Structure 1
Amino acid sequence: MFYLSTRGNNKKLTSSQAIIKGICEDGGLYVPSEFPNILDNLSELINLNYSQLSLFILDKFLVDFSKEELETCISNAYDSKFDTIDISPISKVGDNFFLELYHGPTLAFKDMALTIMPHLLKKSIEKSNLNKDVIILTATSGDTGKAALEGFKDLDGIKIIVFFPEDGVSDIQKLQMKTQEGKNTYVFGINGNFDDAQTGVKNIFNNKDFNDELKNHNYLLSSANSINIGRLLPQIIYYFHSYLSLVKKNEINLYDKINFVIPTGNFGNILAGFYAKTMGLPINKLICASNDNNILYDFFTTGVYDKNRNLKLTTSPSMDILISSNLERLLFELCNRDFNILNTLIHDLNTKGVYEISDSMKNNLSDFYAEYANSKEVEATIKKVFENHNYLIDTHTAVAYCAYEKYKKNTLDNSKTVIISTASPYKFSKDVLKSIDCDFDICDDFEIINYLSKLSHTQVPKAIEKLKFSKVIHKDIYEKENLIDAIKKVLF
């Protein structure tokens, strides 16, 4: 098992080398040289807990790590920082199943990978005898930033710098990042959207002169976004864990096919599901759920990816994205790993803002189905689920649930389905409360949170309560063209 670039350079890296580099020198993304098939092992995995299952799966990909090294990384990640022993519990709500991926320290699904990735990176640095400080450079649409900051804080030999759209995240997401403590953590707002932040970070990785300057100061860039294979691989685990949980609860029989509905922005979460299916997990459809920024819906229904449109700011800000970075990894598989085809598509995207895949590639999209939900539908969905089932969901999960209802209506498919619930409703309390009680007249965020708790008879997460008394530390805002200036301020 080694790792290679989607764009075709001939370098073959070990997993630890790929985790350190984050993004390939040619601008491509690292992918595994092959996918292990573990369909025949499923019966042996049913009674494994989350940590044990993590070891089984990661051991297939991170082959230059010893089992002892992986066990250490896993035990440091999936521990008491999660508020449930199950790590990623499934709640049955009516006839539906919600996979709750928000029980970690920052209340979002990014914790599932960003609690372990820092330990994988630290171990990779040790294994490579790297005598440089690693700079983690990350763009975030809201959740990755806080999860990465929390995961990497106070780790020796590593600094983390996060850029986020100042006016493109929820108030709670912003507060989570701006109050982040840690001797090695740095947060900057930008005047722009997430795509601006992500493009800026990618350009920095590809800026040879600046990277040479960093090397002269004994620094090396890496990433905590899902463009880093060390971020992506741990996300495969919860697909297997949720499936096996349903088997254990006698909700399905082993080898029954089920659907997953995934609220999707940068395409990392749903790509992990595709990887799980490639490894043999019995998945029928991966339902890609988009918000008003329905560029992925258009892609899956027409084969055309066109970013030439205005980004809409919605109540599900973590999905307000027009350049879905991880889609490149799917394209690589759709064209049967022909990097010449892939490079042509990326060139068209960079020069024209649009590409269309071939008919043969379109035929390879049969694992997917796409739907989208607008903001009014999201609001109505939150209200309906709460009133019918007394169950509170956030805006992103509502996008997924609404998309699933459309899927059922259009296909009449009654397969058991898992809806990926990506964030605590308390991270988006104002919009959630507006959905279930549009007449409230409160402006203060924490008063809104307390009212939501009282109305829903649910407990405010401790991580949210703590924010009320946290000091804002990071106040700087930069223009999207000046991200290097922010980095230099931190490092030089």
Structure 2
Amino acid sequence: MPSVTYSSTRGGQTNLAFRDVVMQGLAHDRGLFVPDRLPTVSTTELESWRSLSYAELAVNVIAKFVGDDQVPLPNLRDIVTRSCAAFRDAQVTPLVHVGGHYVLELFHGPTFAFKDVALQMLGNFFEYFLSTGSNGGRLAVLGATSGDTGSAAIAGLRGKKGITCVILFPNGRVSAIQERQMTTVPDENVHCVAIDGTFDDCQDIVKASFNTPAFRDKVHLGAVNSINWCRVLAQTTYYYWSYLRVTDAHKDIPEVHFSVPTGNFGDVLAGYYAKQMGLPVGKLIVATNENDILHRFFTAGEYHRESIAETISPSMDICVSSNFERYLFHLAGNDASMLSAWMQAFEKTGQLTIQGDLLRQAQADFDSCRGDTSQTLATIETYHQKHQYVLCPHSAVGVYAIHQLSLVSSATVCLATAHEAKFPAAVAQVVEPMPPPPTELAVLRDLPTRRVELPNDLATVQAFVEECVFSRPRKWQAVAKHLAAVTVAVGVAAVALQAMTRRR
């Protein structure tokens, strides 16, 4: 069977190949690519996957979408196998039983966060496509991170031929370890930029860059954020993996519930697609912190943008969830014109409201729960004291949700999205003494860092990206000096860059 094709949620691009949507990232009409059809997995086929390793399972799941016309099976197997080899646990995403339910540990990759699962694969897909003729062998990746995406993207792209990687993060709004994971990487193709603003500001710059055709085409722009379909596809595997492991141990469980700490909606969306393909999934719980736009949508039908609250779970400090557009497209009956009208109204007013049958359908697809900082800390403390298990402040939000929704059972899996050592300041409030951090994180304290500070300004960021792509400077001081000259009209940018140079 030929590979699945993809179209934009807003209707401007249709029937694109997998290679094209991976390399392009965001659709040219500002929509997101969604599959034109969803393959199915029969009960018999699912049962035949029980004995497979994680890597073998991933090959089978991804091959449902990607045929030999896009990536020949031997190459696909190589991409997936090398991606999984980067993980410290042979099971890649091991499942543990804690407190009467399961925890899916997604933090055994290079940067101790769930995003490694997808970004190791995305990096290797990029490398394969560039080596076989895409973009003339060159790609400029511009990404935004609220904490974990940046380091995971860098780990997947560092040193790769033909790729320039520029990661934007909100200055002072990621944890110290998250920042060091990004800024201590010495590879010359990696550039870390602290933006004077929030994650949503960083995300807006990325989206606006994709919607600037002259810039986009000049640098051959690509995306690593979960707007890139490849990331969502890669994440579907661990829903199959955890379902099979739960039902290995409990053969009487007919379906498995999943609680997912949620920011940009990509992780839980992967579970939604797995369920639509036939995986016996029960509840899909959207677990949010105080930045609860998604919880408000699923309880009252109100997707209303509000200001971002800084919390102890910074990777979820998001007030507009990029991947949510994909779900809204399906909620609109795969009607691109309806979805486009919704998004245009939302972009203008900051509000989207649904009622009636649409709200009831959304509530049938997802449950939701909001856990604030005090509830998150109480959950971390309880699990440490009662179960000798330490949760990160994001994972704890998902665990809190299943207690609130009375879904604590062996049929429930909570996704643990990061290692607790990435958030020591938060966890140490209720865990004493803190477990020693993994060596890979402990050594970051003594490594030199390098980063650029830029204002929340699209033109300045785009000028910086062009400098990185075309000049390939070996010294960051040279980058700062040259960029300050070419953006002299932007006074704030010049001040920030000169300050960076002085610190170096």
Please say whether Structure 1 and Structure 2 have the same fold, judged by a TM-score greater than 0.5.
Answer: yes
Does the 8 Å CA contact 1:373/1:403 hold for their aligned counterparts?
yes
Superposed counterparts of 1:69-468, under 5 Å: 69-79=75-85, 81-212=86-217, 214=218, 219-248=219-248, 250-253=249-252, 256-307=254-305, 309-365=306-362, 366-408=364-406, 416-437=411-432, 452-453=434-435, 459-468=436-445
CA shift for structure 1 position 78: 0.5
CA shift for structure 1 position 69: 1.0
Of 48, 54, 57, the match for 1:50: 54
d(CA) in 1 for partners of 2:439 and 2:331? 43
| Identity, % of aligned positions | 34
d(CA) in 2 for partners of 1:252 and 1:170? 41
Tell me the equivalent position of 2:451: 474
Letter of the aligned partner of 2:468 in structure 1? Answer: V
Tell me the equivalent position of 1:12: 15
CA shift for structure 1 position 470: 1.4
Does the 8 Å CA contact 2:173/2:314 hold for their aligned counterparts?
yes
TM superposition score normalised by structure 2: 0.89
Does the 8 Å CA contact 2:13/2:27 hold for their aligned counterparts?
no
Task: Give the SS at the match of 2:139.
Answer: strand
d(CA) in 2 for partners of 1:413 and 1:187? 41
The runs of at least 4 consecutive aligned structure 1 residues that moved more than 4 Å come to: 412-415
Kindly tell me: are residues 183 and 143 of structure 1, through their superposed partners in 2, closer, same or farther at Cα, counting changes over 3 Å?
same
Letter of the aligned partner of 2:123 in structure 1? Answer: P
Tell me the equivalent position of 2:480: none
d(CA) in 2 for partners of 1:129 and 1:428? 39
Tell me the equivalent position of 1:490: 468
Of 21, 24, 47, the match for 2:24: 21
Tell me the equivalent position of 2:493: none
Kindly tell me: are residues 322 and 21 of structure 1, through their superposed partners in 2, closer, same or farther at Cα, counting changes over 3 Å?
same
Tell me the equivalent position of 1:448: none
d(CA) in 1 for partners of 2:355 and 2:325? 15
d(CA) in 1 for partners of 2:286 and 2:128? 34
* Residue deviations 1:137-167 (CA, integer Å, cap 9, x gap): 1000000000000100111111110000012
Task: Give the SS at the match of 1:261.
Answer: strand
CA shift for structure 1 position 96: 1.3
* Residue deviations 1:65-112 (CA, integer Å, cap 9, x gap): 111110110121011x31110100011012111000000000000001
Q: Which stretches in structure 2 are left out of the alignment for 5+ residues?
A: 471-504
Letter of the aligned partner of 2:65 in structure 1? Answer: F
d(CA) in 2 for partners of 1:128 and 1:361? 44
CA shift for structure 1 position 260: 0.2
Does the 8 Å CA contact 1:383/1:435 hold for their aligned counterparts?
yes
d(CA) in 1 for partners of 2:222 and 2:198? 22
Does the 8 Å CA contact 1:273/1:286 hold for their aligned counterparts?
yes
CA shift for structure 1 position 263: 0.3
d(CA) in 1 for partners of 2:201 and 2:270? 25
Task: Give the SS at the match of 1:131.
Answer: helix
d(CA) in 2 for partners of 1:124 and 1:302? 43
CA shift for structure 1 position 413: 7.8
Q: Which stretches in structure 1 are left out of the alignment for 5+ residues?
A: 438-450, 454-458
Task: Give the SS at the match of 1:476.
Answer: strand
Kindly tell me: are residues 257 and 20 of structure 1, through their superposed partners in 2, closer, same or farther at Cα, counting changes over 3 Å?
same
CA shift for structure 1 position 32: 1.0
d(CA) in 1 for partners of 2:428 and 2:355? 45
CA shift for structure 1 position 414: 5.3
Taking only aligned residues, the RMSD between alpha carbons, in angstroms, comes to: 1.5
Task: Give the SS at the match of 1:159.
Answer: strand
d(CA) in 2 for partners of 1:49 and 1:291? 34
Does the 8 Å CA contact 1:16/1:62 hold for their aligned counterparts?
no
Tell me the equivalent position of 1:446: none
Letter of the aligned partner of 2:463 in structure 1? Answer: D
Does the 8 Å CA contact 1:178/1:475 hold for their aligned counterparts?
no
* Residue deviations 1:234-277 (CA, integer Å, cap 9, x gap): 000000001111122x23447x1111000000000000010110
d(CA) in 1 for partners of 2:41 and 2:140? 35
* Residue deviations 1:368-411 (CA, integer Å, cap 9, x gap): 10101010111111000100001011000111111111111xxx
Letter of the aligned partner of 2:108 in structure 1? Answer: H
d(CA) in 2 for partners of 1:211 and 1:301? 38
* Residue deviations 1:279-312 (CA, integer Å, cap 9, x gap): 11111110100001111100011112000x2210
Tell me the equivalent position of 1:67: 73
Does the 8 Å CA contact 2:13/2:28 hold for their aligned counterparts?
no
Aligned length: 462
Letter of the aligned partner of 1:452 in structure 2? Answer: M
d(CA) in 1 for partners of 2:270 and 2:281? 12
